[in-house]
Amino acid sequence: MQAIQSYESPAKLILLGEHFVIFGAPALAVPLLDLTTRVTLRQVNAPGAHLGELSWAPATDPHPRHLEAKQRRQARGLLEHAITRVAPNSTSGFLLEAHSSIPLGYGLGSSAAFAVGVTVTLHALLNLHPDASTLSHHAHALEKMVHGNPSGIDEAVVLKGLPLSLRKGEATKLLKLSSPLSLVLASAGSPGSTREAVARVAALREHAPERFASLVAKADALGEAGIAACATGNLCALGALLDRAHALLQKVGVCPPRLDDLVQKARQAGALGAKITGAGLGGFMVALVPPERVERVRAALVASEGELVFSTVVPATTGKT
Ligand code: MEV
């Protein structure tokens, strides 16, 4: 019988600090456990990297979408790279399948979930038992192929499946959540390229270094205040921080008008705060919402032509984590 391994990774959501994390501010991120990517890897006789079915279907739409030729080429490249790193002398080959409910390229960690899934299943198939930092190192190398020079927050949250904060170059820290976070998300129907968004922000920094440094300092203060608000369960304070973070992201030019509009609509419908999440240029906005107002905010986003609208709850962390 052929050896086979499967692994399911969650999506991630950045609460605070995207983009500014690359320049030293903290990023705060949580896993979204209801959205997942399942990677299945089989050992096969023919050497090399082989692809089976690769598809994704958002929870709001049961019909799976198959990856396009370009995305399949990228997936094969990632698997080849993982094999070169983890099993350079393997005489057998590997057949990959992946099914995801994480929208691809919408800032919810689809590439990190894929990178982590490939890394974990490949080690498991080869009966290797790496420690968490080795897994993270390999997953990070795959993320680099997709995004250029990522901060590491995405794959860290996906791999640990826990809320985390990260300052680039430092070890991740568990993010204490004293209250569950009730969230409503909506997209404006188009993905965004992380690589392009990161390049746009880097160009702004080049062009206006002093102004940019003052934005990073503000993001730093928001991140620290966010860690404190999460720890005390002060959701009103956290909501206000999300609003201020959105204003900073507007200043670096990654908030398209349609997502700005959805952010406004969520606030008007009673959200405690709202912002885009992830690299921007497309993708999702997220609103922090008191549980009793979730349906109202959700309906407002649908009425404003938000797409892939869904709500989710991030559980409070327990003492054990
Ligand atoms: C992407 O999910 C988050 C960014 O901050 C990039 C990164 O941290 O690598 C935009």
18 lines ligand 1 (CB under 6 A): yes
pLDDT of residue 318: 85
Beta strand pairing call for 48-56 and 27-44: unpaired
307 lines ligand 1 (CB under 6 A): no
pLDDT of residue 62: 67
Residue 128 and residue 81 in contact, taking contact as beta carbons nearer than 8 Å: no
Which residue among 12, 14, 143, 170 has the greatest number of ligand 1 atoms within 8 angstroms of its CB, and so is best to mutate? 14
Residue 14 CA: which ligand 1 atom is closest? 2
pLDDT of residue 321: 52
pLDDT of residue 316: 98
Which phi-psi region, left, alpha or beta, contains residue 19 (left: φ > 0; alpha: ψ -120 to 50)? left
19 lines ligand 1 (CB under 6 A): yes
Q: How far apart are CA 298 and CA 282, in angstroms?
A: 19
Long-range CB pairs of 50-53, under 8 A, 24+ apart, other chains included: 50/93, 50/94, 50/95, 50/96, 51/75, 51/76, 51/79, 51/95, 51/96, 51/97, 52/95, 52/96, 52/97, 53/97, 53/98, 53/99
112 lines ligand 1 (CB under 6 A): no
Q: What is the pLDDT of residues 277-299, one digit of tens each?
A: 999 999 999 999 999 999 999 99
Q: What is the pLDDT of residues 78-123, one digit of tens each?
A: 999 999 999 999 999 999 999 999 999 999 999 999 999 999 999 9
276 lines ligand 1 (CB under 6 A): no
Q: Of all protein residues, whose CA lies closest to atom 8 belonging to ligand 1?
A: 151
21 lines ligand 1 (CB under 6 A): yes
pLDDT of residue 57: 86
143 lines ligand 1 (CB under 6 A): no
Domains contained in the chain, CATH given: 4-174 (3.30.230.10), 181-314 (3.30.70.890)
DSSP track, 85-141: HH-TT-SSEEEEEEEESSPTTSSSSHHHHHHHHHHHHHHHHTT----HHHHHHHHHH
Average pLDDT by stretches of 10, the chain with 321 residues: 88 98 98 97 96 87 84 96 94 96 94 98 96 96 93 96 95 97 96 94 97 98 98 98 98 97 98 98 97 98 96 89 52
Q: How far apart are CA 63 and CA 83, in angstroms?
A: 31
Q: Which of 313, 310, 40, 13 is nearest to 158 (CA)?
A: 13
Quote the ligand 1 centre to 91 CA distance (angstroms). 36
pLDDT of residue 2: 63
pLDDT of residue 1: 46
155 lines ligand 1 (CB under 6 A): no
